[in-house]
Amino acid sequence: MRITEAAQRLGMSPRMLRYREALGLLPPVREQGAHRRFGPEELAAVAQGVELEKRFDVSPAALAFALRVLSEPVVAAAVRDLGVRIGRIPVPRRALDFEKEKALRLLRTSAPGQTSKRT
């Protein structure tokens, strides 16, 4: 089906459907004459996107960016770094950090002039 009919079935305007396409929220399927044809899979993908937007209260642009974060490691790393910097994501613990904390604990438990029991 063409974009006008697909938009009607999805309860949105053809313009909104084109906007979603520009954001990358539609499967990349086009006819030879450069016209997009919508089948059941394409309609289901758009409907799933709309449902996610409603459920998580995000815009189509935010959903498109989330997909970009999931598919581009460089973008994911940059977003993760920001999350750590602003305190939304905990700093990942490294093996060296664990060993350092372990050594500090051992130093705290063995006060000067005291011997600690170790097995």
CB atoms within 10 A of CB 93: 9
Distance CA 45, CA 99 (A): 48
pLDDT score, position 81: 93
pTM recorded for the entire structure: 0.70
**CB < 8 Å & 24+ apart, contacts of 71-77:** none
Contacting residues for 58 by C-beta, under 8 A, at least 6 apart: 52, 66
| Mean predicted confidence (pLDDT) in 112-118 | 56
Contacting residues for 54 by C-beta, under 8 A, at least 6 apart: none
CB atoms within 10 A of CB 70: 10
Q: Which residue has the higher pLDDT, 90 or 99?
A: 90
Asked if pLDDT for residue 116 goes beyond 70, the answer is no
Q: Residues 5-54: pLDDT tens digits?
A: 999 999 999 999 999 999 999 987 666 667 788 899 999 999 999 999 99
Tokens of 24: 């990358």
pLDDT score, position 43: 94
CB atoms within 10 A of CB 69: 14
Q: Residues 74-90: pLDDT tens digits?
A: 999 999 999 999 999 88
pLDDT score, position 113: 60
Nearest-5° Cα angle at 114, 108 to 119? 75
pLDDT score, position 115: 55
Distance CA 84, CA 71 (A): 20
